[in-house]
Amino acid sequence: MGTTGFIIVMSILAIASVTAAIIRNRNFRKKEKLHEGLGETYGLSLAYASERSFTLFGTYQEYSLRIEPVELPNRSRETILEALKISIPMVNPQRKLFRAIKPLEELPHLDIIADLDQPSFVRHDLGEWLQITTNDLLFASLILSDDIKISLYDTFNKIDAGLVFIEDEELAFIFPELLTDSEQVVSIEKMIQLIVDIKDELNR
């Protein structure tokens, strides 16, 4: 290869490298801005390294709210699911458990979260695709007001899978996706409002 050919090849490689770096930076900023926008909506602080490593945290409607990515193993621990976790701390000395899940066969990772060996199944009219279980039917009835049922339906109806639960000292929603697209924001906002609504219902 002559000097001219070498210069041309190196120039092409340099341009390709710079172009790739620009695209990566744009994609990074786009995702970072999605997280910043979500945080601004709820008055949360953001510590961001990537969509796989961030924390949104702060106080929303007097509740300590936290949003972060989590890795969920399945029962065999052979595969890992990357998901978003939205959570509010609970005071739960009697260890009440409440669980509403829209399952997906391809995502067995959700099945083992807040699971009971012998759960009580809660009857409802929200659809067969939503399974609600508890270890205390009276506790579940306190949560499932008409407003919460509407919020549950509205939150789960438009997503493929998800889980909201109360276990030990945590009220949380697990969404089996990471935040990478603006179209996800509406669904995530509904998840946030759902757990806030549940906390409000328990505080009445």
This prediction has a pTM of 0.86
The 3 state secondary structure assigned to the chain is CCHHHHHHHHHHHHHHHHHHHHHHHHHHHHHHHHHHHHHHHHCCEEEEEECCEEEEEEEECCEEEEEEEEEEECCCCCCEEEEEEEEEECCCCCCCCEEEEECCCCCHHHHHCCCCCCCEECCCCCCCCCEEEECCHHHHHHHCCHHHHHHHHHHHCCCCCEEEEEECCEEEEEECCCCCCHHHHHHHHHHHHHHHHHHHHHHC
d(CA 182, CA 160): 17
Helix orientation angle between 146-156 and 185-203, rounded to the nearest 10 degrees: 160
Task: With beta carbons less than 8 A apart as the criterion, state whether 179 and 83 touch.
Answer: no
pLDDT on residue 160: 95
User: What are the φ/ψ torsions at residue 104 (nearest 5 degrees)?
Assistant: -140, 125
Extract the residue ranges of the chain whose pLDDT is less than 50: 6, 18
pLDDT on residue 20: 52
Read off the tokens for 116: 């009971």
pLDDT on residue 124: 94
Tens-place pLDDT, residues 110-145: 999 998 888 999 999 999 999 999 999 999 999 999
Could you tell me which of 79, 89, 30 has the C-alpha nearest to residue 57? 89
